[in-house]
Amino acid sequence: MNFTYSALPMRVVFGAGSLDSLPGEISFLKLEKVLVLCGPRQEAVGVAVAEALGDRCAGLLPEATMHVPAEVAAKARRVAAELGADGCVAVGGGSAIGLGKAVALEHGLPVVAVPTTYAGSEMTPVWGLTENGVKRTGRDPKVLPVSVVYDPALTLTMPVSLAVTSGINAIAHAAEGLYAPDASPIVSLMARDGVRALITALPAIVEHPDDLDARAEALYGAWLCGAVLGATTMGLHHKLCHALGGTLNLPHSSTHTVVLPHVLAYNRVTEIAPVELWELEGRLGAPRSLRELGMAADDIDRIAGQVASATFPNPRPVTVPGVRDLLRAAWAGTPPAV
């Protein structure tokens, strides 16, 4: 058995009520003036965080946007510089944490993440920016958050529909980690337990949205799945979703949800049964077609060509006809072809 595994350096504070520890985390990290970043829907939480930080809060920017548009990133970088911020606190899902990473990429400021969804971006050194309809991604250690505060209580206000798609988005991170070229036994352990936690928690959340234990189990699973994404190389699933999101501006977690069973079938993954996952999505009320997300049938060939022309590792060769067939099934909402 031969493998290489590098643990990513960060602190994790986990548990209901752990948001109360955030001022202590900022002090521990010796930060004096942090910029709080969030999206418009998380502004109330952002305001509460800013107030809790008191004099250590340099300002609040509630403008995080899906897929991190370049113009929003430019504004956040400018505001951070104008305020003399020495760090950022990103409150929310992948959009807010991605915006914090954009600031870190430019200015090298440390990011403290306070996730409110299961996106998993807080566990990775992966950044993404969208400009002129193209989403660029990369890896840089300086964008990896230095501390992550997981408070399941913050996820109680996440609508059930978003909890479901965000959770399946997290499962996608684990799925690709299982067949990544740089997978290891440690990564596979995290992936399997992350998937187990989410598949257990999501039906419970649908049944009882205020079940804090279920929300905590899902957040724990998302942490593990995000760590898998941070430790491995992305394949067809993420490249395809980045193309759909960056080019067509489709909703992030819903796109991952629709596409994942079809990519699993395409790559012939056995650890997570594609049809069973597709059926679970139906029982959870999740979207199962790209058509309902706003994609036009005419976009299929364009996206297939864009993805097939890119270079990335994948367990099965990526061809235009293969991706086209995958997208046709995902667009129509038919079961994955196994």
Q: Where are the domains of the chain?
A: 11-155, 160-332
What is the arithmetic mean of pLDDT over 20-41? 96
Q: How far is CA 279 from CA 61, 241, 264, 333, in A?
A: 40, 20, 14, 11
H or E stretch at 59: strand 57-61
The sign of the CA dihedral 136, 137, 141, 144 is positive
- pLDDT score at 250: 94
Task: Give the Cα separation of 277 and 199 in Å (integer).
Answer: 9
This prediction's pTM: 0.92
What is the arithmetic mean of pLDDT over 223-241? 95
Q: What is the dihedral of CA 46, 51, 57, 62, to 10 degrees?
A: 20
Q: How far is CA 315 from CA 74, 82, 188, 330, in A?
A: 37, 46, 16, 20
- HSE at residue 280, side-chain half, CA atoms within 13 A, is 22
Residue 206: alpha-carbon gap to chain centroid: 20
DSSP string, 120-148: -GGG--EEEEEETTEEEEEE-GGGS-SEE
Q: Comparing 66 with 279, which gets the higher pLDDT?
A: 279
User: Which amino acid is it at 146?
Assistant: V
User: Which amino acid is it at 198?
Assistant: L
What is the arithmetic mean of pLDDT over 177-184? 93
Give yes or no for residue 1 having a pLDDT over 80.
no
CATH superfamily of 160-332: Dehydroquinate synthase-like - alpha domain (1.20.1090.10)
- pLDDT score at 66: 87
Orientation of helix 236-248 relative to helix 252-266, angle to 10°: 140
Task: Give the Cα separation of 160 and 209 in Å (integer).
Answer: 7
Confidence of residue 10 (pLDDT cuts 50, 70, 90): confident
Phi/psi-derived region of residue 84, left when phi > 0, alpha when psi is between -120 and 50, beta in every other case: left
What is the arithmetic mean of pLDDT over 271-277? 95
CATH number (3.40.50.1970, 1.10.150.120, 1.10.8.420, 3.40.50.2300) of 11-155 reads 3.40.50.1970
Q: What is the DSSP letter of 69?
A: B
What is the arithmetic mean of pLDDT over 179-185? 93
- pLDDT score at 114: 97
Q: Comparing 36 with 119, which gets the higher pLDDT?
A: 36
